[in-house]
Amino acid sequence: MFNNPFSMVVAIVLIVSIASVLRARYGHRRNRHGHDLPANDPDADRLRAEIQMLKERVAVLERIATDSNRGVVLDREIEALRHRD
C-alpha cells in the first residue's frame, strides 16, 4: 500500500488530522501533559462556583474563630454570611 516514504507520511498526517477533528467534535481534550480533560459540563461549572463560595465562607469562619475581642464585628460578619444566600 505504501510504496514510498512520502505516502506513509501523508497517511500519518491524515490519521492524526482526522483524530484531532473527532476529538474536537466530541469534546475530548487533553492537557499539555497528555492527560484527558473532561468536556465542559454545566453541572461541573455550577459545583465549582458552589465550592468557591463555600471556601470563602469557611475562610470567614476561620478568621472569626481565630480573632479575639470581636464581639460586635462577629455579629456583622455572621449576618453578612446569612445574607449571601
User: What is the per-residue pLDDT for 29?
Assistant: 63
User: What is the per-residue pLDDT for 34?
Assistant: 63
User: What is the per-residue pLDDT for 82?
Assistant: 84
The helix (H) or strand (E) run that includes residue 33 is none
What's the CA gap between 63 and 30, in Å, rounded?
Answer: 39
User: What is the per-residue pLDDT for 46?
Assistant: 87
Record the cell numbers describing residue 24, joined without a space: 474536537
pLDDT single digits (tens) 24-67: 776 666 666 666 666 666 777 888 889 999 998 888 887 777 76
Residue 75 has pLDDT above 70, yes or no: yes
Which pTM was predicted? 0.39
